[in-house]
Amino acid sequence: MSRYAALLVLEALILQLGISVEKPAPHVAIIGGGIGGASTLHFLSELLNGNLEIDLYEAKTVGGRLATIKIDGDEFEAGGSVIHPKNMYMQRFVKLLGLEHNFFDNQKYGIWNGDEFVFTESNWSIISLLKLFYRYGFQPYKLNRYVENMMEDFLKIYDLQDAGRSFANVTELLSAMNKDFPNLLQISIRDKLLHVGFTERLINELEQASIVGNFGQEVDVHSFLGFISWAASSDAWAVKGGNKRVPEDLIYRTKNVNVMRNRVTKIRNLANINDSSRYEVTYTNKDGTDSITSNYDIVIIATPLTKDQASQIEFVGFPDDLVFPGSFQTTHVTFIKANLNLKHFGLQETLDSILSCNPNKTNINMVLALESVDGLAKKNPRVWRVYSRKSMESSLIHDMFSNIIEKKEVAWKVSPHYSTNLNYNNNFKLHDALYYINAIEWAANGMEMSAIAGRNVAILAHNDFLQMHGFNKEVIKDSIKKLRVSTEL
């Protein structure tokens, strides 16, 4: 059966069931132009076949926490910088958008406790493996296997979402991957690894360095994040030209999208006030003086809402207070074009990355030699990115580096403060037709987690909107499934 004939049969089936094929076009507000907002925009537009109007609000820069910075004329990642090879949505986006992978050269790393390096890689992989075995035994291999098995369950989310599954909150989403995943939010990675037989040395050095480097926190974070952090350390890649190109291109390639360079200040629930729209969104004009309003059928929030964020949104007219507890960790990222001072670290030869397993003593989380986003940066001297919990003092910078050519600093509220006593808003669906992508960040944050949450919210919003307008999505989905099977036979 041809595709055209199949569509005719499907239309006839739907008409026989008494369902209108005329779908209304919703007016949608998406607040936040990072990867979460961009992926939601993309997936929702696909689900509705472009039959919608979207206002995307981004008061700063499209890309959000994906950004680049120029040092001595070359461009480097300033925000989210690495992507795991099994991050399927980022892989799909790169292919869809015709972008290229930027693979990293092999980088030699060391783990520093402030007094000495407890482990350093060799130029020879076999020697590195022997050194790793000498200090930790088979434990790193066992942890790799443990995390790989966990990743197999994590990957189930792609099949679930391809099948149209959606989840109202983070707990439901994690449980669909593995019923034990929500329990990992209740136990620290330290306690979890001890419980399953890993040593204090591995936990306090290798696992600690991973979490400090990726999230600026330590092994008292919950174990789901700890395992994600370990997984993120292997075979990473980035997008050539900068990871920010993914949200930028997703947004600007989508039709019927109006990018609003305005800051949203208020969302008013119009239930029982206005039959034609559900929400009124108030935003400031570009100079921040006057307030303007627009009405929407669907509102999707793709920016953190904790009270420590610079911009706050007021919620008006809701039957229950919308509360967003918790706070975010501020990470200071200092970019320095200079030579590494080997004497400061007690090194005989240079390393590409220095991971701290004792940030309270070292005053840094990580020092990393960078490659430019196009791979063509001048490398003499190199550009280094230093992560720290507070702004670096000038004296420390001059102790760590020599021949300093340029220095810039960026401060990010990069991730939530994680613990095993999480107090956060767990819901993707806050109210009828009001959704919150960033709830996912309290399980783990990153580009792929935001894309997964974005697709989940897109499915939720799509299904809720059609049901509200009298469409029986289960009947339509069942008809499509049967027709697909019949055309494949």
The torsion angles phi and psi of 174, rounded to 5 degrees, stand at -65, -40
Q: Which amino acid is at 313?
A: I
Q: How confident is the model at residue 377 (pLDDT cuts 50, 70, 90)?
A: low
- Range with the poorest average pLDDT among 172-181, 310-319, 448-457: 310-319
Residue-range domain boundaries for the chain: 1-14+24-64+243-326+421-487, 99-161+188-240+327-416
The torsion angles phi and psi of 480, rounded to 5 degrees, stand at -65, -40
The set of residues, in sequence order, having a beta carbon less than 8 Å from that of 271 and lying 6+ positions away, is: 278, 317, 432
Averaged pLDDT of the chain: 89
The mean per-residue pLDDT over the stretch 249-253 comes to 95
Report the distance separating Cα 373 and Cα 300, nearest Å.
Answer: 31
Q: How confident is the model at residue 478 (pLDDT cuts 50, 70, 90)?
A: very low
For residue 389, pLDDT over 90 is answered with yes
The torsion angles phi and psi of 136, rounded to 5 degrees, stand at -120, 0
Q: Which amino acid is at 161?
A: Q
pLDDT of residue 9: 53
CB 455 within 8 A of CB 39: yes
pLDDT of residue 195: 97
Report the distance separating Cα 266 and Cα 284, nearest Å.
Answer: 10
Q: Is 242 left (phi over 0), alpha (psi -120 to 50) or beta?
A: left
Q: Residue 337: helix, strand or coil by DSSP?
A: strand
pLDDT of residue 290: 76
CA 226 → CA 68, 199, 218, 475, distances in Å?
27, 15, 9, 41
Report the distance separating Cα 73 and Cα 70, nearest Å.
Answer: 6
For residue 4, pLDDT over 70 is answered with no
pLDDT of residue 300: 98
The mean per-residue pLDDT over the stretch 437-446 comes to 95
Q: What is the pLDDT of residues 43-92, one digit of tens each?
A: 999 999 999 999 999 998 999 999 999 999 999 999 988 898 899 999 99
CA 167 → CA 54, 337, 346, distances in Å?
23, 46, 51
pLDDT of residue 13: 54
CB 56 within 8 A of CB 422: no
The mean per-residue pLDDT over the stretch 290-311 comes to 93
Report the distance separating Cα 251 and Cα 313, nearest Å.
Answer: 23
Location of structure tokens 């291109």: 249
The mean per-residue pLDDT over the stretch 348-357 comes to 94
Tokens encoding 6: 């199949």
pLDDT of residue 18: 47
Burial 235-244 (b: 16+ CB within 10 A, else e): eebbbbbbbb
Classify residue 352 by its DSSP letter.
S
For domain 1-14+24-64+243-326+421-487, give the CATH superfamily. Answer: FAD/NAD(P)-binding domain (3.50.50.60)
The mean per-residue pLDDT over the stretch 288-299 comes to 89
Tokens encoding 439: 């709830």
pLDDT of residue 235: 76
CB 28 within 8 A of CB 297: yes
Express as a percent the part of the chain with pLDDT over 90: 77
Report the distance separating Cα 383 and Cα 50, nearest Å.
Answer: 43
CB 450 within 8 A of CB 84: no
Report the distance separating Cα 130 and Cα 476, nearest Å.
Answer: 59
For residue 2, pLDDT over 60 is answered with no
pLDDT of residue 483: 32
Q: How confident is the model at residue 232 (pLDDT cuts 50, 70, 90)?
A: confident
The mean per-residue pLDDT over the stretch 337-361 comes to 94
Report the distance separating Cα 331 and Cα 402, nearest Å.
Answer: 24
The mean per-residue pLDDT over the stretch 226-254 comes to 91
CB 166 within 8 A of CB 435: no
Starting at the edge strand that comes first in sequence, how are the strands of the sheet with 382-388 ordered? 117-120, 109-112, 353-356, 366-369, 382-388, 328-340, 401-416
Q: Which amino acid is at 366?
A: M
Q: What is the pLDDT of residues 260-277, one digit of tens each?
A: 999 999 999 998 665 567
For residue 1, pLDDT over 90 is answered with no
Tokens encoding 388: 């720290």
